Structure 1
Amino acid sequence: MGQGSWGTEADRNAVAAKFQLVADWSAAHGIPVMISEFGAVRATPFNDRMAFYAAYVDGAVAHGMAFMVWDDGGDFHIYDRKWRTWSEEKDILIHGYPDSPTRLAFTSTVDTLVTLTWVNRAEGATHLTVERRTIDGVFAPLAELPPDATAFSDTTAEGGQTYQYRIIAHSGGVDRYSYPIQTTVTPTARASYPAGPHPLPGTLEAEDFDEGGEGLTYHDTDAENIPGAYRPGVGVDIAARNDGGYQVTHIASGEWLEYTVDVAEAGLYEVTVYVASVGGGGRLRVVAGGEQTSILNPIATGSDQALAPLSGTLSLAAGPQIIRLSLLTGAAYHVDRMEFRLVGATSTEDAPPAPAITVYPNPATTYVHVVAPAAPRQVLSLYNVLGQRLRHLTLAGPETRLDLDGLPPGVYLLRLERDGRPATRHTLVKH
């Protein structure tokens, strides 16, 4: 199969008809048939390619035909000889059966919700397992379902992340795998509030978190603004202050708020969070990309209006990015604002020489190779221009392949860390 789409009812029927024609000829002449090769180029869309391989395996196994797959080490490869890794086609070839779950499709891929449907074909299955993985991860069980289930909703997905899903039917000690399908979860549009990215150095009012909604720009354990002040339509609790401002209140463990900012100058920033608390308690921190402040502990101020400053430091790159206020543990405290002050600009003259890394190809399309000087405990991360981390892996050798499948075209930042400290940054362009 060359480049293009595949998987319509007509496509499937055409393959089935060819298998039937060959099977009839084989029976009429008493000559067994072996499929010497079939395959699809990797430029074919992922879901179409997986369905194509599954259709050929279905037909071959159903008619008792041995088969071989074409692998030229290039456009048709299913085994990466350099990295000694198998592609997704391997499980289709080994675990695919004519009664494996099939016709996988997505009916929703927005924000934190992915809804998957399929057709069951296995008779006597004891149960089904839904598995999921990220592009650079491994498949792991997500849910166990009854054998007649034909749909599943994943409510733990993350907007902007790319996932692969597959269904396994368990029957009589034999696991029948569906082919995997892939989707990138579409986040609801994010927008700064009240308008435009917040300039830093400067002040972020806690109540001016981004618009976008639960799971995208904030997380709150209840769905309403209980005090009802300032932004009554959001799910974050905001109360009026006696000085005419507002503060985030009713804080519970694990909640967070995000803000789009535009940093004028890269460097080390002092971050001061102003918090009111009658009796003290709780833990919070400020996060940006791969950097974070130390844990800040609210102290007792004697009232829910008296503010105390909690300070930490945070390294920020220049340009637009996302700041997250992470409320690690809840308590009776209230957050008014965050102030960012530049205390040490990044200086290329004073900084020690960073280890050079080589990234190729750049610009890239589906993957890049990263070559870095050997060193223990090296971690490579990929960020978008908003400071969101999209890939994260530990380097196992001097050269590493980083998959870019599922990422939209644009400019990205590669960041190399050694022993938990930033070492090198490199700009990457994806076409």
Structure 2
Amino acid sequence: MKGDRKTAIRSDDSQELTTINRRGCLKLGAIGAVGNFQQFSEWLLGEQSARSGIGHGFGGLPALDERIIPYFQESDLAPAKRINTERGIHSRFGGADTYEVSVDGDYLFADIVRESASKTAAAVVVGGGRILDAQYLGAGTTRLAASATSLDGVVVQVFNLDAGAGTYYLDVSEPEQAPYDEQWNLPGKIEAEDYDTGGAGVAYSDTTDQNMGGYRDGAVDIEATSDDGGGYNIAWTDAGEWTEYTVGSDAGTYDIDLRVASNRGEGKIRVSLDGTALGTVDIPQTGGWQNWQTVTVPDIELDETDGSVLRIEAVEGGYNLNWIEFNQAGSIESPPEQSPYGSSAWEIPGMIQVEDYDTGGAGVAYSDTTDQNMGGYRDGAVDIEATSDDGGGHNIAWTDTGEWTEYTVDTITGTYEARLRVASNRGNGRIRLLLDGEVVGTVDIPKTGGWQNWQTVTIPELSFDAGDGRVLRVEALEGGYNLNWIEFVDSAAESGDPISTPDDWSYSAQGYGEGTYGGVEA
């Protein structure tokens, strides 16, 4: 985690210690103080503890409170040692070691490393005369954290409750907030799960220590999302929780769009920049925790900034959040440009691999009736799968009426036969070819006996003028076929091959109403 300095500790020259986190470790309450610490700890861990009124915490150990922590038995304290964030201290447990810490900021981490946990030991952070955090010390690294509520006269105390507890290493650090990857630039989209590094109280606040989901360390609850584009969303939100993001912005007026889902409604989000509230928005009931809607905080004026901190805060929880997008109000977004997939136009005469349609996205280089890519090979909604046709590669599949793909082509003047490599377990498909928006021909797709039983169909006598950077569209007038490639052959040079008839008319596992459509035969 950026800004969170860690010290690599080895117990000898060859063995590296493991690291543990603080989840499940004990929080603490405050009860009164007692006398001599050594006598008290012996009494506590002996038979007397079974008859005392002392509360017990994790694993049957007593709850860490003022009755146990030697800081509160001042007569037993050895003179405090000073420690800073530049270097750690390696020492042996020997009662109670107390360290004064100088802190410039508002937060403190204290990492204590032990070789083993066979003997009981603990540590505490005290500020302003009260307990800020306390933990029993397991094997490896245990982290204590203190926030800005009171860092006045802060001390870290490390002590053993059993003799022979061995050695420990203490390292203190002040977390620094930094972008998770790099600064987010506005206008633009921010992925909510990629909040800043720095840890609890610095880059985020969460009402529980447990991460209910995954994706990254920390207490912020994150889960995989089924929203368009995939990725992750923040979930299990509760009132008072927040995440922060380092941003830079252009001056202008913005609409802030937030992508939310809630099965409950009644959520409310506040958006702030450098501590100043920009606006709030109510979260509607969207019909499910993965049923997504976009809500907007409109007309927000921003100055030009760099290194500013955006905070997204749950005034009321009960919603999921996928992303936040700043769009300049009234601006018209430039449409994406269409260009060849492999940077070079296809040449006619020649063969076009149909899965390598142009870049530019939906509505520009292709149109598909569903957002989901049923296959793979490349991003986008066009359904593509591996092919078992000669030469291998991929084919377009799961076609539906009205879908199309486009290809940038350079043509040479001539008369051509278009050969299309198709497969269909259903038949009744129909393909139309257009060049620069003009229809040049159509062809019916026969029933070939399987979704990977391939035939070549032809459109003869297509006359093309010479031209560079032209656009060929392949359109499904009727779907229900797979398409592997299209080849344009000069009619003057070749007469064309006859349409083949498959030897094997066995049906595959695919079919509209007869099995799954689009896949390779079982």
Q: Is the pair's TM-score, using the shorter chain for normalization, greater than 0.5? A: no
TM-score band, normalised by the shorter chain? 0.3 to 0.5
TM-score by length of 1: 0.38
Larger relative helix fraction: 1
